[in-house]
Amino acid sequence: MKKIIPLLSASIVASPIFAGSITEKESEKSIDLKTETKPNIVLIYADDIGYGDLSSYGAKRVETPNTDSLAANGIRFTNAHSAAATSTPSRYGLITGEYPWRRKGTGVAAGDAALIINPERITLPKVLQEAGYTTGAVGKWHLGMGNETGKQDWNGHVTPGPSEIGFDYSYIMAATGDRVPCVFMENQRVVNLDLNDPISVSYKENFEGEPTGKDNPELLTKLRPSHGHDQSIVNGISRIGYMKGGKSALWEDENIADSITVHAVRFIEKNSDKPFFLYFGTNDIHVPRYPHERFRGATEMGHRGDAIVQFDWSVGEIVKALKKAGIFENTLIIVTSDNGPVVDDGYQDGAVEKLMDHKPWGPFRGGKYSTFEAGTRVPFIVHWPERVESKVSHALVSQIDMTATMAALAGLERLPEIPEDSQNQLSAWLGMEPAGRDYVIGSAGSLTVLTRVWKYIEPNNGRTYNPLTNTELGNNPDDQLYNMTTDRGEYDNTAEENPEIVEIMKHILEREKEKGIGLDL
């Protein structure tokens, strides 16, 4: 606010655009945390779980009791945002504290992409290491590995990776469930690899004699693609990209949740006597959705619904482990998602046919890939029995603030290297301050400015609809301005009636762009 006010006329500051606004000083107000109470931090980062996918957020066709219990006993946020509407840029923003649109190369990463975070820069895990935390990353990574795209030797130590950007321990899937290589990596080495059967990966061409989903559909015993995903076949499911070898190391999709959850639990058990930070990126509910047998049929919605139940099971296992170690009370758990929901994301898994009246996007328009609200408005739950009282918060919060906010939580003075994009919003995140941010910039093709009342989407000539994923993308060659406090939300473009607000929003965006856009990594 401090920096905006001189640029705006008094009448506009008084207008509802910044309704309920607070001063920067207040929002950055430090919270007195004694070192001995330094909490453990567990971030449960779901993949593609939408605002309406959890029963605590209104879902009726699926029960998520473990997550709901965290929501009921902690803070359930209703206006929380990922940095982007897909995985890689959201994760980049979360871990660096810098808006992904400021950097080239932060779009959805291939499975053989080089590490997209410069090891020189400050990151969320490095901040926490500095504060004395042991840090671990378990589950989906999708931030690239190695120095050069396509040049990794998957049979050796792949570096740089999680350890170079601040994780003491890692047990990860290099990219996503639908991208090769389909193996787990522990501390940057493929787990269970037989060096007599080395792994080769290519995103350019197939390896001679290897079957693909396109040419050998008869080998697709578990899932068939609906669009894309017709290259190498692993575990009866075809993927994006080509791989060869590594048979003993290949994952089975039905066991991914078990495998990563077990490693997350082990990390908790091993580190329970000192402060730790666990980044737990679930594979659920990204495609290919192929939950373990014991979850199949848990809902009437097929694999997508059952994957939500499997996700909730993982949450429950983490909670159990924390309780068993006697550290549940002093652990801050955050549950959120990397982007909004998608129903058909490229496999024929029955999600479309069995959706019924379930609304993964909640009351919002759009979904994954969209600049409309459901692209980035995600569940966000903060649970910390020692410090946080049960409530619902309507504060505007963003994952971009994770780095600065966790630095404050860990008792560090604001480090100058933390990007300005990342604000210390600790008071809002702990439910002590009701407003949160003044605005947040979103990115999914077009940039957006969201305040607590208005949402502005900058003009964009991109297509308006993706028929394959059935997503309204939110692109429009005209200015779009929506009043998010009305029921009509993103269905009523009010830009023409509110030229002065459009001007302010454009001004905010210009000012943000001046700080850097499209820079090299």
Please say which residue, 108 or 415, places its beta carbon nearer to Ca ion.
108
Beta-carbon contacts of 295 under 8 Å, excluding residues fewer than 6 positions away, are 306, 307, 309, 310, 313
471: contact with Ca ion by CB under 5 A: no
Cα 230 to Cα 200: distance, rounded to the nearest angstrom: 18
Query: Does residue 364 contact residue 79 with C-beta atoms inside 8 Å?
Result: no
Q: How far is the CB of 345 from ligand NG6 (least distance, A)?
A: 4
- CA 105 to chain centroid: 17
For the chain, report the end-to-end CA distance as a whole number of angstroms. 29
Any idea what DSSP says for residue 113?
P
Q: How far is the CB of 337 from ligand NG6 (least distance, A)?
A: 10
Residues 79-108 binding ligand NG6 (CB under 6 A) are 86-87, 108
Residues 131-150 binding ligand NG6 (CB under 6 A) are 142
Q: How far is the CB of 389 from ligand NG6 (least distance, A)?
A: 33
Please say which residue, 436 or 474, places its beta carbon nearer to ligand NG6.
474
Find residue 240's DSSP bridge partners: 179
Which region among 121-129, 227-235, 251-259, 417-425 touches ligand NG6 (by CB under 6 A)? Answer: 227-235
Cis peptide before 181 (omega within 30 of 0): yes
Query: Does residue 168 contact residue 135 with C-beta atoms inside 8 Å?
Result: yes
Cα 199 to Cα 183: distance, rounded to the nearest angstrom: 10
Please say which residue, 96 or 476, places its beta carbon nearer to Ca ion.
96
Which region among 8-16, 221-229, 378-386, 487-495 touches ligand NG6 (by CB under 6 A)? Answer: 221-229
Q: Tell how strand 331-337 and strand 169-173 pair up.
A: unpaired
339: contact with Ca ion by CB under 5 A: yes
Which region among 146-154, 317-325, 339-347, 406-414 touches ligand NG6 (by CB under 6 A)? Answer: 339-347
**Of 17, 27, 39, 48, the one binding Ca ion by CB under 5 A:** 48
**Of 16, 65, 228, 236, the one binding ligand NG6 by CB under 6 A:** 228
CA atoms within 13 A on the CB side of 46: 31
Which region among 55-63, 226-234, 358-366, 433-441 touches ligand NG6 (by CB under 6 A)? Answer: 226-234
**Of 18, 38, 47, 395, the one binding Ca ion by CB under 5 A:** 47
Q: Which residue has the tokens 């409530």?
A: 391
Q: How far is the CB of 110 from Ca ion (least distance, A)?
A: 15
Beta-carbon contacts of 334 under 8 Å, excluding residues fewer than 6 positions away, are 41, 42, 43, 44, 380, 381, 382, 383
Please say which residue, 87 or 424, places its beta carbon nearer to Ca ion.
87
**Of 117, 180, 240, 308, the one binding ligand NG6 by CB under 6 A:** 240
Q: Is 467 exposed, middle or buried (0-12, 13-18, 19+ CB in 10 A)?
A: exposed
Cα 20 to Cα 396: distance, rounded to the nearest angstrom: 11
Residues 270-289 binding ligand NG6 (CB under 6 A) are 286-287
Nearest to 283 by CA among 189, 360, 179: 179
State which amino acid sits at residue 464. Answer: T
Residues 158-197 binding ligand NG6 (CB under 6 A) are 176, 178
Residues 442-481 binding ligand NG6 (CB under 6 A) are none
Alpha-carbon separation of residue 410 from 226, 281, 434, 441, 466 (angstroms): 46, 21, 22, 26, 43
Phi, psi of 391 (to 5 degrees): -165, 170
Residues 21-60 binding ligand NG6 (CB under 6 A) are 47-48
Contacts with Ca ion by CB under 5 A: the residue count is: 5
**Of 29, 121, 227, 365, the one binding ligand NG6 by CB under 6 A:** 227
Query: Does residue 297 contact residue 166 with C-beta atoms inside 8 Å?
Result: no
53: contact with Ca ion by CB under 5 A: no
Could you tell me how many helices (H) and strands (E) the chain has, helices first? 10, 20
Q: Tell how strand 134-140 and strand 169-173 pair up.
A: parallel
Which x/- pattern, by CB under 6 A, does the window 340-379 give for ligand NG6? -----xx---------------------------------
Nearest to 375 by CA among 442, 291, 297, 470: 442
Cα 374 to Cα 1: distance, rounded to the nearest angstrom: 26
* 458 touches, from Ca ion, ligand NG6, none (C-beta below 5 to 8 Å by class): none
Cα 185 to Cα 205: distance, rounded to the nearest angstrom: 24
Q: How far is the CB of 37 from Ca ion (least distance, A)?
A: 33
Which x/- pattern, by CB under 5 A, does the window 288-327 give for Ca ion? ----------------------------------------
Q: What residue is closest to Ca ion based on CB?
A: 87
Contacts with ligand NG6 by CB under 6 A: the residue count is: 17
**Which pair of tokens denotes residue 105?**
């190369």
Q: What residue is closest to ligand NG6 based on CB?
A: 228
Q: How far is the CB of 96 from ligand NG6 (least distance, A)?
A: 17
Query: Does residue 428 contact residue 88 with C-beta atoms inside 8 Å?
Result: no
* 160 touches, from Ca ion, ligand NG6, none (C-beta below 5 to 8 Å by class): none
Please say which residue, 20 or 228, places its beta carbon nearer to ligand NG6.
228
Which region among 48-56, 235-243, 317-325, 451-459 touches Ca ion (by CB under 5 A)? Answer: 48-56
* 137 touches, from Ca ion, ligand NG6, none (C-beta below 5 to 8 Å by class): none
In the complex, the residues that contact ligand NG6 under the rule CB under 6 A are 47-48, 86-87, 108, 142, 176, 178, 227-229, 240, 286-287, 339, 345-346
